[in-house]
Structure 1
């Protein structure tokens, strides 16, 4: 079955008008089968983009290597895990250029690496504001990790060796459970408010608050579908990281392109029919 056939057989359901939320009529209710379609369409965009997508993803492989090596050399390897979590928190911003590539493919333009890097220029004020909010969110997350480590292990050196020694102690397991729960809470907020917000701000001149509102509505109206999508994002990105970051050269572009198609399925553009 071709991608076009899939789209025709698994078309999104029309959005009910109103539904009690402001701008709720701009969000479609979609079937869970669409999630596979987003990944499929993302893969098609990667192929259509040629070298642009893997080159974009390769930048983050290099950044991952540099951060890991730098933190290890500074004896701050305990921050590697929090920084991986921080990467997931700001990933909607990092994949902005991939949304631009998918938009170019959709509109029949040849993808450009330079245009991908400069994608923020489409709506600079609000995209940069969203970036600052995500960066602040990331800084709070990392800081809370450091504070939690100090509270759980007040007499333990913050070295990587010390962290490994404490991992399988009872206190270490409580620490892991606490950080996992905290990370889930941070990731949930970031996902709900940004799953369609950045693509939307790239696509048209929306402000950060309106785009975040539409993103929240998309999750509220499609809770099971969006939970599945969030799980797949974590799975694919996790596989990319588990390969010593090398797999991110493919995983990140795949998720970025697929996220554009998730936005296009979920959010109705002005003038489009439901």
Structure 2
């Protein structure tokens, strides 16, 4: 079996040494969670700030869904716009701890400023995918509820009713495709942009290559993320998100560090160094 340091694919980086996609074992997702937990314990103040932000976003989405469901997609787009900036702060915190530096909330809030253009491009792609996801969902609802769109209560009943298994299957399949695209293009792209300063396209392609070369382990990682978030959302007032949000954010940094590395530039396969003029 390949070790975590075994490269399985090399991608040309936009800056610096070539990017190496490493092979990771099935136990790695648990190690990432353990490392993320250590980080939030060492930086509990920073974790509390970001966890509170995630919690407030979840409460706002739940309230809008109940009161004015027609605005849910708009608010979700806003949360999707804000989410990567919050995640960047957690990645920066884990990176500082990895380097032996003290966590710094102020630094974590502004760590994305040098990557604003790349982040903006990636966020734009995510918002487009979400809008397409929403449109596809409306089509599924229209097909299965041809007598009219159900109310908010009707949607919840439809999603959890065994009698509507065909609707549940199609809706889950459509949602699963878009969720896989979002997860595949972002699982390591944001921490990679923070760490290496790569552009959005290189980061997204590398992220997709990580998923396609380490599919089993990354699917397990995605299922663990969904499980933890689902448990947090099922608790009244969703208060566990205060812990689960920063925990998964810090763990995602360790997932990136385990899956993506650098190939040292050697004399054999690299362009000769440029000499200074005599």
Question: TM range, normalised to the smaller chain?
Answer: 0.7 to 0.9
- Return closer, same or farther for 1:30/1:151 CA change in 2, 3 Å cut-off: same
| Other-structure match for 1:72 | 66
Deviations 1:36-84 (A, max 9, x none): 111111001101112111220111211211222123222549x59x988
| Other-structure match for 1:225 | 217
| Other-structure match for 2:271 | none
| Other-structure match for 1:263 | 256
Contact 2:8 2:20 survives alignment (8 Å): no
Cα distance in 1 for residues equivalent to 2:137 and 2:78: 11
Cα distance in 1 for residues equivalent to 2:228 and 2:132: 25
Contact 1:89 1:138 survives alignment (8 Å): no
Cα distance in 1 for residues equivalent to 2:56 and 2:157: 29
Stretches of 4+ aligned residues off by more than 4 angstroms: 21-25, 82-94, 164-167, 270-273
| Other-structure match for 1:150 | 142
Contact 2:50 2:242 survives alignment (8 Å): yes
Cα distance in 1 for residues equivalent to 2:81 and 2:122: 12
Cα distance in 1 for residues equivalent to 2:185 and 2:92: 20
Listed as ranges, the gaps of 5+ residues in structure 1 are: 1-9
SS in 1 for 2:148: coil
Cα distance in 1 for residues equivalent to 2:6 and 2:75: 40
Contact 1:240 1:250 survives alignment (8 Å): no
Which one of 31, 35, 47 corresponds to residue 25 of structure 2? 31
Pairwise CA distance, 1:22: 5.8
Pairwise CA distance, 1:25: 5.9
| Other-structure match for 1:52 | 46
Pairwise CA distance, 1:222: 1.6
* Number of aligned residues: 259
TM-score scaled to structure 2, two decimals? Answer: 0.81
Contact 1:120 1:128 survives alignment (8 Å): no
Bigger strand fraction: 2
Pairwise CA distance, 1:86: 10
Alignment RMSD, CA only? 3.2
1:109 aligns with 2:97: no
| Other-structure match for 1:191 | 183
1:246 aligns with 2:246: no
Task: Compare CA radii of gyration and give the structure with the larger one.
Answer: 2
Contact 2:141 2:149 survives alignment (8 Å): no
Alignment of 1:66-105 (within 5 A): 66-74=60-68, 76=70, 94-105=86-97
SS in 1 for 2:102: coil
TM-score scaled to structure 1, two decimals? Answer: 0.82
Deviates more, 1:151-160 or 1:129-138: 151-160
Pairwise CA distance, 1:17: 6.4
Pairwise CA distance, 1:272: 9.3
Contact 2:80 2:127 survives alignment (8 Å): no
